[in-house]
Structure 1
Amino acid sequence: MTTIGIVGTGISGLQLALRLQQLGIEVVVYSAQELDQLATGRPRNFPARFGPTQQRERQLGVFDWDTADAQVRRWDVTVGAGDHTLAFHGELRPPSSVVDFRLYLPHLCARFAERGGKVVVGARPITEVAEQHDLVVVANGDRSMRELFPRDASRSVFDAPQRILCSGLYRGISEDTPQSLDLCLIPGIGEIFRIPFLTPQGRADVLAFEAVPGGPLEPISRVDPAVEPVRFYRDVLALLGEFAPGLRERVDGQDFTLIGPGELSQGSVTPMVRHGWATLPNGKCAIAIGDAWITNDPLTAQGANLGSHTAFALADLLVTQAGGYDETFCRAASEQLWTHARNVVDWSAAFLGPAPAHTTALFAKAAEDKRIAEAFINNFNDPVAMWQSLASPRGTDAFLAESIEE
């Protein structure tokens, strides 16, 4: 009988495990962490899961957050600062789901185990895992796996972080419109966004600064609120006042605080594509998905959604092949997965650089016409369509014409 070993308990690894289980393929999940550790610790990321990902979760029978406190329905977007600010808003249909992975990942892992799936806890060498299975799928981007899947220079635009991050979970921020997010794009400086979020402690708000290195948003990423709390909150509020004044007005200075110790993530990410497969010493192969394959900056909120899409696409390829997972299969499978993933990578890379004239024109049109604003916002559900609309002036013109026709 064909067996698949999956290394990693992130969204891509667990959705792949659940899907293969559903399709009747024997699968074992390998987790470096004890299962209760998935529900604890610092927040690792703040994912927004868009409509297609939610549909796949419904197909797996694991979508359990169809409630207002876990949804974002409206986007309020500003581009620029001061007197040169453009603003537009729109409804996202369906609403995105915003659930802390400390709730989400244990839920998926528990469903897999309840349905008879096997989870092996404890770090194991990849060679040991490979001895037990016909194919190893690596969905864990830790350092040892990065050595197995080195950087793909032909597909990696950057070799250094493009943003310095300071993202945390806060209380004390009000909403003008329930279930809305704020996205402030400040050319040359970075981005500030606020997202309502369902955490293990209940409803809170993500407040994130994505700083262009060396710019005015970067210093906050080096201030430790546990060591210098007064300075930290003072500087956060000052940055909001200067670069996101509308959002600053909704912050209650008396109640504004992180929801708890450690509820903050500071650091940086280097966007990167790694080689998608590797041959192991015993001749068997490993294929990479999730963070083991592609690391995107969180700006476009596509990481979890790409992981979900890739998990289902790979499951289809594995079922069709039904064994014989050699180098030829892994090379071809990785190339097929790349046909979708490249749109996410290219779009994310474009958003990290200066906006070209046709993108700036799109934002200006969105500020004038709600149809265009909503079409742009809803393209976050479809990265292929989004990249087609942003990749060239011709694509943007076609997008604008189609948006107005609808």
Structure 2
Amino acid sequence: MSVGIVGSGISGLHLALRLQQRGVPVTVYSEHDIDGLRTGRPRNFPARFGRTQQRERELGVFEWDFADAQVRHWAVTAHAADAGLPLEFVAGLRPPSSVVDFRIYLPSLLSAYVDRGGELVTGDHAVEDLAARHDLLVVANGNRSVRRLFPADPDRSPYTTPQRVLCAGIYHGITEEVPHALDIHFLPGAGEILRLPFYSPAGRADVLAFEAVPGGPLEAVAHVDADADPAGFRRQVLDLVAAYAPTLRERVDTGAFTLTGPGELAQGAITPVVRRGWARLDDGRCALAIGDAWITNDPLTAQGANLGSHTAFALADLITDAEGPFDEAFCRAASARLWEHARHVVEWSNAFLAPPPPHVAGLFGRAAADKRIADAFVSRFNDPVAMWRTLSSPEGVAAFVADCEAAAPAPVGAQGG
């Protein structure tokens, strides 16, 4: 048996390392070598929750178990559509999420794979040329050259345009009210403003991100050329934070506030999409899609890296347990099995982009009043299946609240925020 993996993101590398553990010969095809993964602009700002960290421990590649690379609390502010007082709560995230720049994380994983004897081939390769070299080819790279093989699945892709326009950078000069906490401001009709601690190539820093509803007041900053006009960009960022997240603005040291370096910024728009999970190639072989080649979610629910890791481990089990050939039947069946978990992430992520229905808004109100509910809700980001079971219906929220209230006595006093 031989497996080729196209892509060196978290999905491809977790799959490669897991198959390597199982004794399956693997070749990773990457556009970049190890040093190349360390360079360039930040592409994303992933949060890896507890279950992903546990898989990394199983792989022997978890190296960031220290406070500067962790989010331990969430400080949530849900602004009211009628300009009334916002709902606010601080919740403990258990276990903490790990927040490490992929320019640190991915080279570390790829180095481990190579050091353990894994074969790495760098450069740009056509999928059709690689398939004949292996019993199974898995595509985990979502660049334009491979997307044509995996067309969008309209039944699973309700959006055809971006639902958020993103502007996120890595900054110095922001202090924390609650140590190791993520701040998120939900702004009806405008989008979201997030600040989170982040372990970057510059060390401990902060990500400040705007997730703008297209056409809303937060969008313009995503179109400012920060390299050409750094002062104008900085001024616009501070003005938006002051207007829409004033409590966060109070923690920004105007004199020290700056990007950690030139280009430490990601701007653009993402259209959530699920593509077909397999492709028939010209020679009759099939390729299987995972990761960015298969599913692109908006980053608001922070599930992308975690779904990629879960999918990689699940696929490794399917590959090693397979009794027949890795043909179209296998690819169809494998993709269907992977979707059983992935659909919960997709449906939750898509729903989170819309205004919250009454039962979800009510849950935020209960979280603001009861820390047991707040802690349990935030910690459920580690379990997207359970989270979507909770949020998808009024009955799910009612059951979740009842479980929280039955689990432990209510703390003395109101929810502290």
Q: Secondary structure at the match of 1:282?
A: coil
Cα separation, 1, equivalents of 2:228 and 2:284: 51
Aligned to 1:220: 221
Aligned to 1:48: 47
Aligned to 1:383: 384
The unaligned stretches of length 5 or more in structure 2 are: 408-417
- Bigger drift between 318-327 and 304-313 goes to 318-327
Contact residue 134 and residue 323 of structure 1 kept, 8 A = no
Cα separation, 2, equivalents of 1:374 and 1:383: 15
- TM-score in terms of structure 2 length: 0.96
Aligned to 1:358: 359
Question: Is residue 325 of structure 2 the alignment partner of residue 327 of structure 1?
Answer: no
1:99-248 equivalent positions in 2, closer than 5 A? 99-248=100-249
Q: Secondary structure at the match of 2:26?
A: strand
After TM superposition, give the deviation of residue 124 of structure 1 in Å: 1.0
Cα 1:323–1:117 shift into 2, 3 Å: farther
After TM superposition, give the deviation of residue 390 of structure 1 in Å: 0.5
Cα separation, 1, equivalents of 2:232 and 2:375: 38
Cα separation, 2, equivalents of 1:323 and 1:45: 38
Contact residue 134 and residue 284 of structure 1 kept, 8 A = no
After TM superposition, give the deviation of residue 284 of structure 1 in Å: 1.5
Question: Is residue 73 of structure 2 the alignment partner of residue 74 of structure 1?
Answer: yes
After TM superposition, give the deviation of residue 322 of structure 1 in Å: 5.0
User: What one-letter code is carried by the residue in structure 1 that aligns with 2:74?
Assistant: W
After TM superposition, give the deviation of residue 282 of structure 1 in Å: 1.7
Cα separation, 2, equivalents of 1:56 and 1:310: 11
Cα separation, 1, equivalents of 2:180 and 2:334: 39
Cα separation, 1, equivalents of 2:129 and 2:231: 50
User: Aligned pairs, how many?
Assistant: 405
Q: Secondary structure at the match of 1:170?
A: strand
After TM superposition, give the deviation of residue 201 of structure 1 in Å: 1.2
Cα separation, 2, equivalents of 1:322 and 1:68: 45
Question: Is residue 392 of structure 2 the alignment partner of residue 396 of structure 1?
Answer: no
User: What one-letter code is carried by the residue in structure 2 that aligns with 1:60?
Assistant: L
Root-mean-square deviation (Å): 0.9
User: What one-letter code is carried by the residue in structure 2 that aligns with 1:214?
Assistant: G
Cα separation, 2, equivalents of 1:43 and 1:358: 36
User: What one-letter code is carried by the residue in structure 1 that aligns with 2:158?
Assistant: V
Deviation digits for residues 361-401 of structure 1, max 9, x if unmatched?
00011000001101110010000011011101111111111
Question: Is residue 11 of structure 2 the alignment partner of residue 12 of structure 1?
Answer: yes
Q: Secondary structure at the match of 2:184?
A: strand
Q: Secondary structure at the match of 2:84?
A: helix
Cα separation, 1, equivalents of 2:62 and 2:311: 18
After TM superposition, give the deviation of residue 128 of structure 1 in Å: 1.4
Deviation digits for residues 120-161 of structure 1, max 9, x if unmatched?
011111111111100100000011211000000010010000
After TM superposition, give the deviation of residue 231 of structure 1 in Å: 1.8
Aligned to 1:59: 58
After TM superposition, give the deviation of residue 258 of structure 1 in Å: 0.4
- Bigger drift between 81-90 and 238-247 goes to 81-90
Q: Secondary structure at the match of 1:169?
A: strand
